[in-house]
């Protein structure tokens, strides 16, 4: 099965590197293997197995000093050749296009990955032997060329994905562990950003290898690339991430802007990681924070609850960054913020929403918006009142997540905007009493612990309501008609 990828292929001629042809027998053998590996014939049947077996035998039969040194004019010829072979092997084991990866295609990729993983284990074993022998100083150069492609291979096949099998997954995990050992790194994060301040990490190298597969035309040709990028990005945190902002922001935005919900969520998670781990000053520079905001805000019009959840969490962490760019002078009215804009849209969507998963998602995040705005929540009080009353009337399933979160929102609202609550006393009191009666009369629908929690939260709201109205709850209650 042919695979389509936009990564640059190693040369398919007998020579390995432009302007430099290995003169040693080993170099010529590697050139021949490289040519066979990248030719179309090697992608099928016995030819495929034969080239992998031949390369494995060649690695096993070669001593460390020969593997990492070339007898040609340049001492770096053989390490660079090994790097080309590693790139070809990584590409060879990569999964096909998503539309091609059906049925037997995934099992074939897993078989290739297991075989390639064994080869990488042999190569890294040679590196480790060279480290221990101290007779081959050029192993460091060889490792520099091998580390990037081997890392991409290991992450591609160690994640739980359709193209992996238990065997390929285990082999890829072993490859990653051995790679960390030979690079003397205690973790993947250390491998990427360096174990100490003086050591330069390999994140830049990895991003450069992924770059050809992360543009608008090519990023879907290899379905593993987005997952490798996302997983790698998550490993790098403050204070190392900001120096790579120009490399990571465009692909994150690209993935989040896809039409598939799965990709949108993946991209939003990448953007959220950027927001959390890049200083506000860097995000505000060149209007980056505004670009992020508008990209996220547009997703709020979709009816996918899991995407809405990811977007709202990211926006809540982005608001403090955006507000650093606002300058309010006392005496004038406070300008509306991005948080106001998002809350207004959320409340607009909440009122008519009837799908339970979306109702729960909106309600789950509503308390965080009230906390964020504080007293400024009064700008949205009328609409919040309608949403709170409407949501308290509707049964939300055994866990009652939506109604519990709405009660939490009401408590926060009364704490922050208590001067405006007394004029809404009758409406809120009726809603709370109706909720208490409905829950108390419900014999089977709600589990007892959830029912008790609902009643406790509603009682707390009644107590707060009484405080906000200066003790008028009892008098108003006695004047109400029976529910």
Which tokens in the block code for residue 221? Answer: 């040709």
Q: Please write the tens of the pLDDT for every residue from 214-261.
A: 999 889 888 999 999 999 999 999 999 999 999 999 999 999 999 999
* Residue 103 included in any domain: no
Boundary (domain end) residue, out of 156, 184, 212: 184
58 close to 33: Cβ distance less than 8 angstroms:
yes
pLDDT value of position 3: 45
Of 174, 222, 172, 182, the C-alpha closest to 202 is 182
Looking at 53-67, 169-183, 191-205, 419-433, which range is the least confident one?
53-67
Q: Angle at the Cα of 321 (from 201 to 384), degrees rounded to 5?
A: 135
- If one compares 423 and 328, the residue with the highest pLDDT of the two is 423
pLDDT value of position 476: 75
Q: Please write the tens of the pLDDT for every residue from 76-94.
A: 477 788 888 899 899 888 8
Q: Please write the tens of the pLDDT for every residue from 3-43.
A: 444 444 433 333 444 444 444 666 777 777 777 776 655 55
* Residue 415 included in any domain: yes
119 close to 128: Cβ distance less than 8 angstroms:
no
257 close to 267: Cβ distance less than 8 angstroms:
yes
Boundary (domain end) residue, out of 150, 168, 184: 184
- If one compares 9 and 98, the residue with the highest pLDDT of the two is 98
Q: What is the mean pLDDT of residues 349-366?
A: 96
pLDDT value of position 220: 87
Q: What is the mean pLDDT of residues 472-481?
A: 72
98 close to 153: Cβ distance less than 8 angstroms:
no
Q: Count each helix (H run) and each strand (E run) in the chain, helices first.
A: 22, 0
Of 378, 377, 358, 357, the C-alpha closest to 367 is 377
SS3 category, 221: coil
pTM: 0.88
* Residue 12 included in any domain: no
Total structural domains in the chain? 2
Q: Which residues of 284-301 are buried (b: 16+ CB within 10 A; e: fewer)?
A: eeeebbeebbebbeebbe
Query: Residue 89: which domain range?
Result: 46-95+108-184
* Residue 319 included in any domain: no
* Residue 301 included in any domain: no
What length is written for the chain?
Answer: 483
Helix (H) or strand (E) holding 444: none
DSSP string, 143-163: HHHHHHHHHHHHHHHHS--TT
Q: Which residues contact 46 (CB under 8 A, 6 or more apart)?
A: none
* Residue 232 included in any domain: no
How far apart CA 413 and CA 48 sit, in angstroms, is 67
pLDDT value of position 105: 62
* Residue 236 included in any domain: no
* Residue 299 included in any domain: no
Phi, then psi, of 17 in degrees rounded to 5: -125, 145
Boundary (domain end) residue, out of 123, 155, 184: 184
How far apart CA 472 and CA 454 sit, in angstroms, is 23
Q: What is the mean pLDDT of residues 102-117?
A: 79
pLDDT band at 355 (very low <50, low <70, confident <90, very high): very high
């Amino acid at each position: 099965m042919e695979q389509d990828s936009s990564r640059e292929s190693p040369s398919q001629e007998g020579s390995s590197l432009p302007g430099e042809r290995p003169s040693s027998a080993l170099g010529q053998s590697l050139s021949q293997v490289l040519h066979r590996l990248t030719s179309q014939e090697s992608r099928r049947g016995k030819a495929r197995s034969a080239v992998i077996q031949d390369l494995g035998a060649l690695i096993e039969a070669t001593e460390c000093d020969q593997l990492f040194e070339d007898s040609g004019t340049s001492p770096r010829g053989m390490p660079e050749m090994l790097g080309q072979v590693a790139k070809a092997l990584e590409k060879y084991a990569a999964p096909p296009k998503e539309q091609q990866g059906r049925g037997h295609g995934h099992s074939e990729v897993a078989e290739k990955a297991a075989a390639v993983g064994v080869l990488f284990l042999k190569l890294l074993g040679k590196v480790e032997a060279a480290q221990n022998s101290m007779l081959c100083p050029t192993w460091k150069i060889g490792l520099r060329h091998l580390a990037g492609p081997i890392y991409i291979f290991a992450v591609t096949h160690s994640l739980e994905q359709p193209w992996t099998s238990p065997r390929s997954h285990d082999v890829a995990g072993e490859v990653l562990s051995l790679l960390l050992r030979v690079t003397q790194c205690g973790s993947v994060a250390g491998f990427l950003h360096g174990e100490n301040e003086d050591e330069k990490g390999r994140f830049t190298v990895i991003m450069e290898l992924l770059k050809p597969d992360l543009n608008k035309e090519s990023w879907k040709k290899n379905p593993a690339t987005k997952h490798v990028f996302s997983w790698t990005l998550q490993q790098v945190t403050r204070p190392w991430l900001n120096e790579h902002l120009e490399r990571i922001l465009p692909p994150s935005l690209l993935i989040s802007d896809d039409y598939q919900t799965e990709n949108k969520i993946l991209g939003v998670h990448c953007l959220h990681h950027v927001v959390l781990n890049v200083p506000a000053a860097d995000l505000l520079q060149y209007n980056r924070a505004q670009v992020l905001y508008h990209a996220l805000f547009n997703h709020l019009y979709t009816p996918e609850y899991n995407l809405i959840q990811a977007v709202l969490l990211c926006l809540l962490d982005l608001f403090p960054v955006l507000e650093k760019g606002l300058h309010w002078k006392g005496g004038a009215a406070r300008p509306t913020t991005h948080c106001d804009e998002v809350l207004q849209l959320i409340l607009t969507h909440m009122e008519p929403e009837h799908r339970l998963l979306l109702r729960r998602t909106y309600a789950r995040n509503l308390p965080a918006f009230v906390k964020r705005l504080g007293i400024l929540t009064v700008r949205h009080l009328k609409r919040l009142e309608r949403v709170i009353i409407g949501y308290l009337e509707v049964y939300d399933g055994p866990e009652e997540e939506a109604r519990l979160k709405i009660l939490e929102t009401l408590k926060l609202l009364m704490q922050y905007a208590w001067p405006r609550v007394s004029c809404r006393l009758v409406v809120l009191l009726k809603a709370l009493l109706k909720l208490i009666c409905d829950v108390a009369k419900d014999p089977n629908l709600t589990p007892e612990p959830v029912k008790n929690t609902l009643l406790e939260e509603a009682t707390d709201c009644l107590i707060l309501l009484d405080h906000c109205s200066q003790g008028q709850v009892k008098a108003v209650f006695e004047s109400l008609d029976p529910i």
